[in-house]
């Protein structure tokens, strides 16, 4: 994944099983923490932040805006060393929710189908059709069909991929889960030339794309400068992905593996205004769009990423009262870890060998080992985060005996 979960939900109270007493770790070496697990136990993980912590903290952006910082200042804090630049042009987005090989759109006035190579466009007739589709055929051909009643009828067949567009600049795509409306063009795109498999790809301007991204990545009701900062980060992130496309037939996806995009249905006036207020503004580094990763909450320290401007630094803006994921607690029993790592047998200890060195407990967990009666499992903090559904890899551990529920 390009980045990890960025949900902004506030964490509720965690129910602890029995009495939890924090174990004092013994020190195996200067860099190792060892937490003994003797028999059935409750393991409590207490942590900070939500997500990988690279780049901008979304809660931090809101905290900074509440302290009077502008969107330019927020961006400057979270992406030091980058330069401002103008980013424009179209972007192609894989629409993962359309899981069929055909592309079906609702009929509308001025609907056009275009063959991509050699390029030729046809305006579709107003023949009473309710739906039109591009259906892939063997040999890399596209079959254009329409539906009235009684099934699909063929209107034209040609070689190569095809796309729909409309005079009003938006289309209603019909997917297995329902109708969705998108700006721009919708393409039936071949992952491999000549095959019958097709993906549905939305091609539209960067600014139109951001209207369907920003309100899904940050609450549009937050401070305008926080939402503007998100618009800049999302624009730059998309431009960076465009310069290193995800696939030969599209540049970016519409899920958390890239950044979430929902089309016209999710657009919000405040988020659209933020897009307009920051129009075409983005960040560059060495003349290329910067890889502006962001996550929900830094927990008080950002973490170093893969680029020089994704720095580890103390974040004084993340811990405002409304951030319910700045601090978190999760409780599991030892059996949960044994189920995920059956090769270790009965869990006897948790050893944390390395952290990133920033903040409480020495920072985010990098390397750790689960030790059991039959073996050992070396894991990273990010791996355990994924396995257990932790908010982040920045956590400490306490262990207590698992006591049976009292009966009357």
Q: Calculate what percentage of the chain has a pLDDT beyond 90.
A: 89
Whether residues 37 and 168 fall in one domain: no
Dist CA 12 CA 104 (whole Å): 42
Q: Report whether pLDDT(130) > 50.
A: yes
Whether residues 123 and 259 fall in one domain: no
Residue closest to 297 by CA, chosen among 39, 52, 93, 14: 52
Residue 201 backbone class (left: φ over 0; alpha: ψ -120 to 50; beta: rest): beta
pLDDT level of residue 404 (50, 70, 90 thresholds): low
Of the listed ranges 5-9, 37-41, 349-353, the least confidently predicted one is: 5-9
Query: What does 254-277 look like in DSSP terms, one character per residue?
Result: SSTTS----GGGG--HHHHHHHHH
Whether residues 192 and 123 fall in one domain: yes
Q: Report whether pLDDT(2) > 70.
A: no
pLDDT level of residue 254 (50, 70, 90 thresholds): very high
Q: Of 197, 231, 260, which residue sits at a domain end? A: 197
Dist CA 298 CA 88 (whole Å): 29
What letter does residue 50 receive in the DSSP assignment?
B
Tokens of 22: 């924090």
Whether residues 214 and 277 fall in one domain: yes
Residue closest to 309 by CA, chosen among 293, 298, 326: 293
Q: Report whether pLDDT(363) > 90.
A: yes
Tokens of 65: 């805006």
Residue 301 covered by a domain: no
Residue 320 covered by a domain: no
Dist CA 407 CA 155 (whole Å): 73
Residue 123 covered by a domain: yes
The whole-number pLDDT of residue 31 equals: 58
Whether residues 111 and 137 fall in one domain: yes
Instruction: Tell me what the mean pLDDT of segment 211-221 comes to.
Output: 98
Which run of H or of E encompasses 368? strand 365-372
The whole-number pLDDT of residue 66 equals: 98
How many CB atoms neighbour CB 334 within 10 A? Answer: 22
Q: Please answer whether residues 353 and 371 qualify as being in contact, where contact means their C-beta atoms are separated by less than 8 angstroms.
A: no
Contacts of 215 (CB under 8 A, 6+ apart): 266, 267, 268, 270, 271
Instruction: Tell me what the mean pLDDT of segment 178-201 comes to.
Output: 96
* Range of the structural domain that residue 238 is part of: 56-91+207-295
Residue 11 covered by a domain: no
Of the listed ranges 187-191, 305-309, 399-403, the least confidently predicted one is: 399-403
Q: How many structural domains compose the chain?
A: 3
Positive or negative CA dihedral for 248, 251, 252, 253?
Answer: negative
The whole-number pLDDT of residue 83 equals: 98
Q: Which residues sit opposite 143 in a β-bridge?
A: 135, 157
Compute CA 225 distance to the chain's CA centroid, rounded to the nearest angstrom.
Answer: 22
Whether residues 329 and 343 fall in one domain: yes
Which residue do the tokens 């992905």 mark?
241
Taking each helix axis from N to C end, the angle separating 224-243 and 269-277, rounded to the nearest 10 degrees, works out to 70
Q: Of 255, 278, 295, which residue sits at a domain end? A: 295
The whole-number pLDDT of residue 195 equals: 86
Tens of pLDDT, residues 79-95? 999 999 999 999 999 99
Q: Of 197, 227, 246, which residue sits at a domain end? A: 197
The whole-number pLDDT of residue 11 equals: 28
Residue 121 covered by a domain: yes
Of the listed ranges 53-57, 108-112, 318-322, 404-408, the least confidently predicted one is: 404-408
Whether residues 188 and 135 fall in one domain: yes
Whether residues 337 and 213 fall in one domain: no
pLDDT level of residue 305 (50, 70, 90 thresholds): very high
Residue 318 covered by a domain: no
Which SS3 state, helix, strand or coil, does residue 291 take? coil
Which residue do the tokens 């939500």 mark?
50
Residue closest to 94 by CA, chosen among 227, 238, 233: 238
Contacts of 55 (CB under 8 A, 6+ apart): 78, 79, 233, 292, 293, 294, 295, 302, 305, 310
Whether residues 116 and 193 fall in one domain: yes
Whether residues 46 and 70 fall in one domain: no
Tens of pLDDT, residues 276-299? 999 999 999 999 999 999 999 999
Distances (CA, A) of 293 to 3, 59, 76, 94, 244: 7, 14, 14, 20, 15
Residue 381 covered by a domain: yes
Q: E strands along 191-293, which residues?
A: 199-205, 252-253, 281-285, 288-289
Residue 368 covered by a domain: yes
Q: Report whether pLDDT(407) > 60.
A: no
Whether residues 107 and 177 fall in one domain: yes
Whether residues 60 and 44 fall in one domain: no
Dist CA 227 CA 233 (whole Å): 10
Positive or negative CA dihedral for 330, 334, 338, 341?
Answer: positive
pLDDT level of residue 21 (50, 70, 90 thresholds): very low
Tens of pLDDT, residues 315-356? 999 999 999 999 999 999 999 999 999 999 999 999 999 999
Instruction: Tell me what the mean pLDDT of segment 210-227 comes to.
Output: 98
* Pairing verdict, β 347-355 and 365-372: antiparallel
pTM for the whole structure? 0.90
Taking each helix axis from N to C end, the angle separating 71-78 and 58-66, rounded to the nearest 10 degrees, works out to 130
Residue 249 backbone class (left: φ over 0; alpha: ψ -120 to 50; beta: rest): alpha
């Amino acid at each position: 994944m390009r980045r990890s979960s960025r949900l902004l939900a506030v964490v509720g109270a965690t129910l602890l099983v029995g009495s939890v007493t924090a174990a004092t770790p013994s020190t195996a070496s200067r860099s190792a923490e060892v937490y003994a697990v003797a028999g059935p136990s409750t393991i409590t993980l207490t942590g900070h932040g939500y997500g990988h912590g690279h780049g901008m903290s979304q809660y931090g952006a809101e905290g900074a805006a509440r302290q009077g910082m502008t969107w330019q200042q927020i961006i400057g804090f979270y992406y030091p060393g980058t330069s401002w630049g103008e980013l424009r042009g179209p972007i192609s987005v894989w629409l993962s929710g359309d899981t069929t090989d055909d592309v079906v759109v609702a009929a509308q006035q001025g609907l056009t189908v275009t063959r991509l190579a050699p390029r030729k466009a046809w305006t579709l007739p107003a023949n009473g059709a309710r739906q039109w589709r591009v259906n892939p055929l063997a040999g890399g051909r596209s079959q254009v069909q329409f539906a009235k009643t009684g099934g699909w009828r063929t209107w034209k067949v040609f070689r190569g991929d095809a796309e729909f567009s409309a005079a009003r600049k938006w289309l209603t795509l019909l997917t297995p889960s329902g109708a969705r409306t998108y700006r721009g063009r919708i393409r039936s795109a071949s992952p491999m030339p000549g095959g019958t498999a097709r993906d549905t790809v939305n091609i539209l301007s960067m600014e139109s794309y951001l209207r369907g991204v920003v309100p899904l990545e940050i609450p549009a009701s937050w401070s305008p400068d926080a939402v503007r900062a998100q618009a800049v980060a999302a624009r730059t992130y998309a431009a960076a992905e465009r310069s290193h496309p995800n696939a030969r037939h599209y540049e970016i996806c519409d899920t958390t593996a890239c950044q979430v995009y929902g089309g016209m249905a999710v657009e919000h006036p405040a988020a659209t205004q933020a897009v307009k207020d920051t129009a075409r503004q983005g960040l560059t580094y060495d003349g290329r769009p910067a890889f502006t990763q962001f996550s929900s909450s830094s927990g008080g320290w950002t973490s170093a990423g893969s680029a020089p401007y994704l720095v580890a630094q103390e974040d004084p803006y993340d811990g405002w009262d409304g951030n319910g994921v700045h601090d978190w607690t999760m409780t599991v029993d030892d059996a949960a870890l044994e189920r995920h790592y059956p090769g270790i047998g009965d869990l006897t200890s948790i050893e944390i060998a390395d952290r990133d060195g920033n903040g409480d407990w020495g920072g985010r967990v990098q390397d750790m080992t689960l030790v059991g009666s039959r073996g050992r499992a070396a894991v990273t903090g990010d791996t355990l985060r994924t396995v257990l559904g932790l908010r982040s890899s920045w956590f400490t551990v306490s262990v207590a005996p698992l006591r049976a529920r009292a009966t009357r």
